[in-house]
């Protein structure tokens, strides 16, 4: 595949980088020889050698790749402490660097590596390794196979492996053989193709962009194509087996992506879209029929394309590569064989590892200790087969995660003893951030999101000075969920063989100790046991079994030694250092996988916050209108200048000048209004840009939950400000996930209650006054207020008395409390209690509100009310305690004046009967904790707020005028103060600053008990 992208610039870049790597390696080797005890230098030597190996393998430079690979092997043994640093080893590594330098010079001068004999140095490296750990016998066979990078075992060795296996594995083999021989053959073919592809090189590289806006244009177009691909593939799936016109559209989209990525030099994107285009070309010619599995495969390709596009840094035009080999191999197999089979690694269930991992660990229960003994060898042999990850990456990830779990346990135990311990707080936070970054680097997005959320919770608490005594139960629950997800992730990375290891998460340091003692014989033992384990999973049974087998057989030859050795070194450290506080641990740990540090950080950023489009398309007629307005503005400016000159010259006709000044001012007001309206229209984009992603989401969720759900969208043409549209995606994802997972019942339950078997979720948008309403409605089981009260009391979120005092509407609103979840079981879709409060917070940041209505047995409806724009709003100006405040006019139902003698008290709260409605009344000064007005008043002005369907009267000192104001955010330096009830500020014509009130928060603060809790 790399041959498609060969060009002189690529080789020139490689030569420059290779020289830099060697210049880094040699001084560090000499320093290490002078100071053999300084093992930290080994990481600085290992990383450039690893990069040199990877880059040379990608370019097909076999001699350089083979020698660098062997040098990397011995460096790996040194840094793991399996062999000591000796002058002889330093000599042989320096000899290897000399040969590497010679070959790179040859490459620069002649374009080839040259006739350099690397065999003697490789033999010397092998001889040094023979004196190392007990499992070294495999190394002597390696020199004959060095070009084949990482997965190239000697051909003679694997033959004994399969012979013991048939005795133990016939039961497993019979299942695929009986019903799915073709799938088994396809899995073997995919495994073979994956091995033949160039090795994955994780280093970032520079893209080619012409001009400043070129990269921005590429990213904008790529995101549009991704949206269209998702929609077209879902349409293709709904069309069934028949011919669909969308095939041509899908082909064209991939073709455009391929061409565009080739122009900027994005090798991974170009290669992946090329293989997808080749497959689709056969489909559109009628040579291959479409199928659900093909749609699954192409959707997986689109997801990978989206990840690749998201990992491009627009400012620097740097691309972060991802391992596309598994998908490329599947696409090649499908193109060649004319049929798509279940994914060999985990079926199409990239989204199922959690449930399967947990189920597997529970089902296996007692048999776990046996595989655990032979863990390292067995794990390592299956890792590459099951996931396509670099075995070294997996080993580093395992050791990192094991240590961080220890640190988490220590920190939580420390906080239980002393909730104010800053050291423990910092230690817990760093452990979670390390798990977050490591998960992001390995592409485990769900795990990364969970770790990121939990770390955010810890960080927020420690910055606000909140006592961890209150949060401890919630943190234990979050860390327990994280532990379960880690179990599933590690089981997936290991090929599903040893899910038990992280289950004993609190004490991972003690488990690895016996692991290195497992002798090489343990590897074959683990093989048969691993095979039957895969058998119980009916869906993924055919594919993983054949795939694991061919790869697992050769793999132990090349790899089992390092992993067992890798375990003791990292694990021994936490064991030795566990006595001190965990604060120092997580800080030290990131140095271990230093090779991954940069990519991990980038992956973490990319996964945590998707990049939003920085451009917008505008109708040229709107631009023409803007130009006309600018012309009128210039005329008015000149008119003001003439009037000013007339006044300066002392012309006596002041009345005439005053009249002209008034006319010009009116004209300026008209132009500025028109200009504002036009700019607003330019910024408006239809909500369809966000809605378009949800059919795919619902399709995936319905498959995952086993429920059939239809998404019905309405009002996609409704327009919102672009800045609002970019932010509402995440809240809508939370709400739709909850509707599918919690709201919609299973088919059996729906039929039993007389509902249609297919659940429905509505997503609609429409204008309502000066705002836009977005509704998410389902016809599921609804929210039971009684259950909400019961769960809130059970989780200690409120007392039984407070819960009893809540009416049904307020009881339903409990779902927005942080940490609340009424789910009976936690799934990887929802149920962890970290979603609905995020929704409310995000919508509040947009100056909007969330309202929920529900009827038990009928369904639930969430209504988001969002402003048309975040920049300018109409507001009612009021005076309270001598200060002016602005209340958004959208939330003002009416204003009135009421005599004090008409007010009565109900439950210690003021109220008044207004037009037959009992209206609660509060002093705005009291809510804002301002001094009340001293003078006696008989009649008070009241502003009646409308918060969704609830109303509240606010007593103010004086009503001023309605005014159009520009919203300015509050500075970060004010975050330390209690700013509840305040959503922003505005600057008046005289330069004074006026605070803008948040009507929803004002209403919540008026509720008994809420202010004291805040």
Fold category of 203-337 in CATH: 1.20.120
Predicted local distance difference test score (pLDDT) of residue 546: 36
Q: Mean pLDDT throughout 418-431?
A: 84
HSE of 231, CA atoms in CB hemisphere, 13 A: 14
Predicted local distance difference test score (pLDDT) of residue 955: 92
pLDDT digits (tens, 9 = 90+) for 38-55: 767 888 888 888 888 878
pLDDT band at residue 778, thresholds of 50, 70 and 90?
very high
Q: Which residues of 255-269 are buried (b: 16+ CB within 10 A; e: fewer)?
A: bbbbebbbebbbbbb
Fold category of 872-1013 in CATH: OB fold (Dihydrolipoamide Acetyltransferase, E2P) (2.40.50)
Predicted local distance difference test score (pLDDT) of residue 154: 37
Mean pLDDT lowest for which of 138-152, 203-217, 754-768?
138-152
Q: Mean pLDDT throughout 442-456?
A: 83
**319 in Cβ contact with 598 (< 8 Å):** no
CB atoms within 10 A of CB 699: 20
HSE of 33, CA atoms in CB hemisphere, 13 A: 14
- CATH code matching the domain that covers 2-162, chosen among 1.20.120.160, 1.10.10.60, 2.40.110.10, 3.50.30.40: 1.20.120.160
Tokens matching residue 588: 């030290």
Mean pLDDT lowest for which of 69-73, 91-95, 400-404, 530-534?
530-534
390 vs 324, higher pLDDT: 324
Predicted local distance difference test score (pLDDT) of residue 896: 92
Predicted local distance difference test score (pLDDT) of residue 338: 86
pLDDT band at residue 826, thresholds of 50, 70 and 90?
low
Longest dimension (CA), the chain: 115
Predicted local distance difference test score (pLDDT) of residue 508: 35
Single out the residue of 663, 739, 725, 720 nearest to residue 690, CA to CA.
725
pLDDT band at residue 415, thresholds of 50, 70 and 90?
confident
Measured torsion, CA atoms of residues 227, 232, 233, 235, in degrees rounded to the nearest 10: 130
Predicted local distance difference test score (pLDDT) of residue 293: 87
629 vs 168, higher pLDDT: 629
CB atoms within 10 A of CB 325: 22
pLDDT digits (tens, 9 = 90+) for 570-583: 333 333 333 333 33
435 vs 169, higher pLDDT: 435
pLDDT at 67 over 80: yes
Percent of the chain with pLDDT over 70: 74
Q: Mean pLDDT throughout 155-175?
A: 38
Mean pLDDT lowest for which of 460-464, 493-497, 647-651, 929-933?
493-497
Predicted local distance difference test score (pLDDT) of residue 884: 93
CB atoms within 10 A of CB 712: 11
The pTM of this model reads 0.47
Yes or no: domain 687-867 corresponds to CATH 3.30.565.10 = yes
Cα-based distances in Å from 855 to 276, 489, 780:
47, 38, 9
Predicted local distance difference test score (pLDDT) of residue 189: 87
Predicted local distance difference test score (pLDDT) of residue 301: 93
**Type and span of the H or E element at 678:** helix 654-683
**830 in Cβ contact with 984 (< 8 Å):** no
Contacts of 406 (CB under 8 A, 6+ apart): 506, 507, 508, 509, 574, 578, 582, 585
Contacts of 760 (CB under 8 A, 6+ apart): 709, 710, 712, 778, 779
Average pLDDT along the chain: 74
Single out the residue of 714, 730, 626, 726 nearest to residue 684, CA to CA.
726
pLDDT digits (tens, 9 = 90+) for 938-953: 889 999 998 777 889 9
Q: Mean pLDDT throughout 476-489?
A: 83
CB atoms within 10 A of CB 481: 20
Q: Mean pLDDT throughout 227-249?
A: 78
774 vs 486, higher pLDDT: 774
**Type and span of the H or E element at 77:** helix 62-79
Cα-based distances in Å from 534 to 241, 352, 540:
31, 15, 8
Percent of the chain with pLDDT over 90: 13
Q: Would you say how long the chain is, in residues?
A: 1014
Question: How is residue 915 annotated by DSSP?
Answer: T
Whole-number Å distance between alpha carbons of 205 and 58 = 13
pLDDT band at residue 532, thresholds of 50, 70 and 90?
very low
pLDDT at 134 over 60: no
Q: Mean pLDDT throughout 653-682?
A: 86
pLDDT digits (tens, 9 = 90+) for 695-741: 888 888 888 888 899 999 999 899 888 888 888 888 898 899 889 98
**1007 in Cβ contact with 953 (< 8 Å):** no
pLDDT band at residue 20, thresholds of 50, 70 and 90?
confident
Under DSSP, is residue 1014 helix (H, G, I), strand (E, B) or coil?
Answer: coil
Mean pLDDT lowest for which of 208-217, 347-356, 957-966?
347-356
pLDDT at 386 over 50: no
pLDDT digits (tens, 9 = 90+) for 302-321: 999 999 998 888 888 888 99
Whole-number Å distance between alpha carbons of 6 and 270 = 13
pLDDT band at residue 242, thresholds of 50, 70 and 90?
low
Residues facing 89 on adjacent strands: none
pLDDT band at residue 954, thresholds of 50, 70 and 90?
very high
Predicted local distance difference test score (pLDDT) of residue 851: 87
Predicted local distance difference test score (pLDDT) of residue 388: 56
Highest mean pLDDT among 10-24, 221-235, 335-349: 221-235
390-520+557-608 — its CATH code? 1.20.120.160
């Amino acid at each position: 595949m790399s041959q498609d992208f060969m060009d002189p610039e690529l080789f020139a870049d490689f030569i420059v980088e290779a020289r830099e790597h060697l210049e880094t390696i040699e001084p560090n080797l000499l320093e290490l020889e002078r100071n053999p005890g300084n093992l930290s230098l080994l990481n600085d030597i290992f990383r450039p050698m690893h990069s040199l190996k990877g880059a040379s393998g990608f370019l097909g430079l076999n001699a350089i790749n083979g020698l660098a690979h062997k040098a990397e092997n011995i460096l790996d043994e040194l840094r793991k402490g399996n062999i000591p640093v000796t002058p002889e080893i330093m000599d042989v590594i320096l000899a290897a660097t000399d040969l590497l330098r010679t070959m790179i010079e040859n490459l620069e001068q002649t374009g080839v590596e040259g006739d350099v004999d690397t065999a003697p140095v490789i033999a010397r490296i092998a001889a040094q390794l023979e004196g190392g750990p007990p499992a070294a016998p495999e190394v002597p066979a390696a020199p004959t196979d060095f070009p084949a990078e990482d997965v190239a075992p000697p051909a003679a060795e694997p033959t004994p492996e399969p012979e013991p296996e048939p005795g133990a594995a016939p039961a497993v083999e019979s299942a695929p053989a009986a019903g799915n021989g073709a799938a088994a053959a396809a899995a073997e073919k995919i495994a073979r193709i994956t091995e033949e592809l160039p090795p994955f090189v994780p280093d970032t590289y520079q893209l080619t962009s012409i001009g400043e806006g070129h990269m921005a244009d590429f990213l904008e177009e790529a995101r549009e194509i991704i949206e269209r691909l998702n929609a077209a593939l879902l349409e293709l799936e709904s069309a069934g087996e028949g011919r669909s016109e969308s095939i041509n559209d899908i082909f064209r989209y991939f073709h455009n992506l391929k061409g565009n990525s080739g122009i900027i030099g994005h090798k991974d994107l170009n290669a992946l879209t090329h293989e997808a285009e080749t497959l689709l070309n056969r489909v559109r010619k009628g040579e291959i029929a479409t199928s659900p599995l093909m749609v699954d495969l192409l959707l997986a390709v689109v997801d990978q394309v989206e990840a690749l596009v998201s990992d491009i840094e627009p400012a620097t035009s740097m691309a972060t590569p991802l391992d596309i080999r598994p998908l490329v191999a599947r696409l090649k197999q499908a193109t060649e064989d004319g049929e798509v089979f279940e994914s060999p690694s985990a079926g199409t269930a990239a989204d199922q590892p959690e449930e399967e991992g947990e189920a597997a660990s529970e089902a296996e229960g007692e048999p776990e200790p046996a595989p655990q003994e032979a863990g390292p060898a067995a794990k390592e042999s299956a890792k590459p087969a099951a996931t396509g990850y670099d075995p070294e990456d997996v080993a580093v990830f395992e050791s990192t995660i094991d240590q961080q779990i220890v640190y988490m346990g220590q920190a939580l135990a420390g906080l239980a003893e002393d909730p104010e311990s800053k050291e423990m707080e910092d230690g817990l936070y760093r452990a979670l951030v390390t798990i977050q970054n490591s998960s992001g680097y390995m592409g485990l997005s769900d795990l990364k999101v969970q770790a990121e959320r939990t770390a955010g919770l810890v960080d927020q608490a420690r910055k606000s000075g909140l006592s961890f005594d209150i949060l401890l139960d919630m943190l234990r629950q979050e860390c327990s969920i994280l532990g379960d997800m880690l179990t599933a992730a590690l089981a997936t990375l290991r090929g599903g063989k040893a899910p038990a290891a992280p289950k004993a998460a609190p004490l991972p340091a003690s488990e690895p100790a016996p692991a290195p003692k497992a002798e090489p014989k343990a590897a074959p033992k683990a093989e048969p046991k691993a095979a039957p384990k895969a058998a119980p999973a009916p869906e993924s049974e055919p594919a993983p079994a054949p795939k694991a087998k061919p790869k697992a057989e050769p793999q132990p030859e090349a790899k089992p030694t390092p992993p067992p050795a890798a375990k003791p070194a990292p694990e021994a450290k936490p064991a030795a250092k566990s006595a001190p506080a965990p604060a120092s641990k997580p800080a030290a740990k990131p140095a271990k996988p230093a090779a991954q540090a940069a990519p991990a950080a980038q992956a973490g950023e990319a996964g945590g916050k998707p990049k939003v489009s920085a451009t917008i398309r505008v109708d040229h007629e709107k631009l023409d209108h803007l130009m006309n307005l600018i012309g009128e503005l210039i005329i008015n400016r000149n008119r003001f200048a003439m009037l000013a000159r007339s006044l300066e010259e002392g012309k006596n006709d002041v009345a005439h000048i005053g009249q002209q000044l008034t006319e010009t001012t009116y004209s300026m007001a008209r132009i500025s209004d028109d200009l504002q309206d036009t700019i607003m229209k330019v910024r408006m984009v239809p909500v369809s840009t966000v809605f378009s992603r949800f059919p795919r989401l619902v399709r995936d969720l319905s498959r995952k939950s086993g429920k059939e759900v239809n998404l019905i969208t309405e009002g996609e043409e409704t327009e919102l400000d672009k800045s609002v549209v970019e932010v509402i995606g995440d809240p809508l994802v939370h709400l739709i996930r909850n509707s599918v997972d919690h709201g919609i019942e299973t088919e059996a339950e729906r039929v039993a209650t007389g509902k249609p078997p297919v659940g429905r979720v509505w997503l609609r948008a429409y204008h309502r006054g000066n705002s836009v309403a977005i509704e998410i409605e389902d016809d599921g089981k609804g929210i039971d207020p009684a259950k909400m009260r019961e769960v809130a009391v059970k989780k200690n979120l409120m007392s039984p008395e407070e819960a009893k005092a809540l009416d049904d509407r307020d009881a339903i609103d409990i779902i927005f409390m942080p940490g609340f979840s009424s789910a009976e079981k936690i799934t990887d879709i929802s149920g962890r209690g970290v979603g609905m409060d995020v929704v409310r917070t995000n919508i509040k940041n947009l100056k909007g509100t969330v309202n929920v209505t529900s009827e038990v047995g009928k369904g639930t409806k969430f209504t988001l009310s969002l402003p048309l724009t975040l920049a300018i709003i109409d507001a009612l100006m009021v005076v309270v305690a001598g200060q002016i405040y602005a209340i958004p006019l959208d939330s003002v139902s009416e204003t009135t004046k009421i005599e004090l003698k008409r007010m009565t008290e109900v439950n210690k709260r003021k109220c008044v009967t207004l037009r037959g409605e009992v209206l609660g009344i509060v002093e705005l000064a009291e809510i804002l904790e301002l001094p009340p007005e001293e003078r006696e008043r008989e009649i008070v002005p009241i502003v009646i707020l409308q918060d969704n369907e609830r109303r509240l009267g606010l007593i103010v000192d004086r009503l001023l005028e309605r005014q159009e104001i520009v919203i300015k955010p509050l500075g970060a330096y004010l975050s330390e103060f209690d700013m509840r009830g305040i959503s922003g500020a505005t600057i008046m014509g005289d330069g004074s600053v006026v605070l803008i009130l948040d009507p929803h928060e004002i209403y919540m603060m008026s509720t008994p008990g809420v202010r004291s809790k805040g």
